Amino acid sequence: MDPFTTHHTTLTAPAQEGESVTPSDSQPLARVSRAIYVGTGGDLRLRLVSGSEITLANAQPGALYPVRAAQILATGTTAGGLVALS
């Protein structure tokens, strides 16, 4: 039983969905993320929901980055073990 089913989900609420991510220059995420978990450190190249592209240089392993990403790009991404949380 989930006692929180009647609560409205906000951006500050815990994630409810997650997907393992294989970076791709052509395939967007199934859902826009609320955060990205990095399992293996490295650079993380993202296309944000706004359409802008950024690189999180030297993303740390075990870190959770609160970003609204629409896509994790293969070109420029060296981090691994990525999970998109929404």
Condensed to tens digits (0 to 9), the pLDDT of residues 26-39 reads 999 999 999 999 99
The predicted pLDDT at position 49 comes to: 96
Percent above pLDDT 70 for the chain: 100
The predicted pLDDT at position 8 comes to: 74
Mean pLDDT value of segment 50-79: 98
pTM for the whole structure: 0.89
Mean pLDDT value of segment 11-35: 92
The predicted pLDDT at position 2 comes to: 77
Measure the CA angle with vertex 68, ends 2 and 61; round to 5°: 85
Distance in angstroms (rounded) separating the CA atoms of residues 24 and 10? 28
Distance in angstroms (rounded) separating the CA atoms of residues 53 and 75? 11
Give yes or no for a contact between 38 and 66, defined as CB atoms under 8 angstroms apart.
no
